[in-house]
Homo-oligomer: A and B are copies of this chain.
């Protein structure tokens, strides 16, 4: 089979499409013929090198987000059958329940092989069924960015109709955050430096648009838009540069979700934060999520006929172009590679 593999020393020049041995199944494993993958900033950072996950082994198949069809099942598989459409979870060992260090030790395309290959093999417990409503390209857009936004707003936040969410920029997590908020009857404030992207966000339901180049003190602006009450939840993807504005915008008692892996942050990298206990501010680091969460977001979007925003699609031979395109940040929505 064909697969991309990242060789030592890491760098895009050492990310190579090559002929590999097709993996085989055993026990409760399933073999998936991957049809589409999506990119996250983390994938550009991992493949460029500069940091290593604990347990990393090269060569490694990169990328965490994919979707495909099952072509073979191990003798102990019970949930799935050949022909089922599935998507692997970012963390293969976080099936459900609370976060633990052990559950997130392995991440696809990080400390273990990912999905940028024609065939991959996972335990049946580490994948979610893809609703018929989604194409493979659409399904492949959910695992990292969608689950991160769901984990933040739904699992941790318990978002309710009538509340307000602020999302920063139009990257994957932000756009999923916008769509989730609208699904739950919440109001959305979105920031961007591009009026064109803001208009695209408006088409997806964003209620208030702030161009942060035109309005650098966007925190104050967001506060005004809520009549001084403040926003209930913020998906913080910018770190120490945007955090002061976020704290300005936040409702006392509100939550700021500090987004992890999607931003490509190295393990152990820290953001500088300021926090006033007198406002009961909650800062919660979020590092993607569980198989249960992936199933939940699929289950939430499909019957409401909401699809992830896909910005651009590349062919299997064009992975390097896709990485370049991702790095330029000119897109709105997910970047997908079909296989």
Contacts and interface: CB of A to CB of B under 8 A. Distances in A.
Contacts of A287: 277-280
Interface string A105-125: 110000000000000000101
Nearest to A101: B252
A68 B300 CA distance: 39
Contact of A79 (B27, B95, B102, B290): B102
Contacts of A213: none
A209 interface: no
A274 B275 contact: no
Contacts of A337: none
A196 interface: no
A278 B260 contact: yes
Contacts of A96: 95-98, 290
Q: State the oligomeric state as a number of copies.
A: 4
A158 interface: yes
Size category, A interface: 35 or more
B184 A292 contact: no
Contacts of A280: 99, 260, 284-287
Contacts of A286: 277, 280
Given A95-B95, A99-B280, A160-B300, 17 more contacts: A26-B27, A78-B93, A79-B102, A96-B97, A96-B98, A98-B292, A99-B252, A101-B253, A101-B279, A154-B160, A160-B184, A268-B278, A272-B274, A273-B273, A275-B285, A279-B287, A281-B283
Return the 7 tightest CB-CB contacts between A and B, nearest first. A96-B97, A27-B27, A260-B277, A277-B285, A162-B300, A161-B300, A183-B185
Interface of A: 26-29, 74, 76, 78-79, 93, 95-102, 104-106, 123, 125, 154, 158, 160-163, 180, 183-185, 187, 251-253, 258-261, 265, 267-287, 290, 292, 296, 299-304
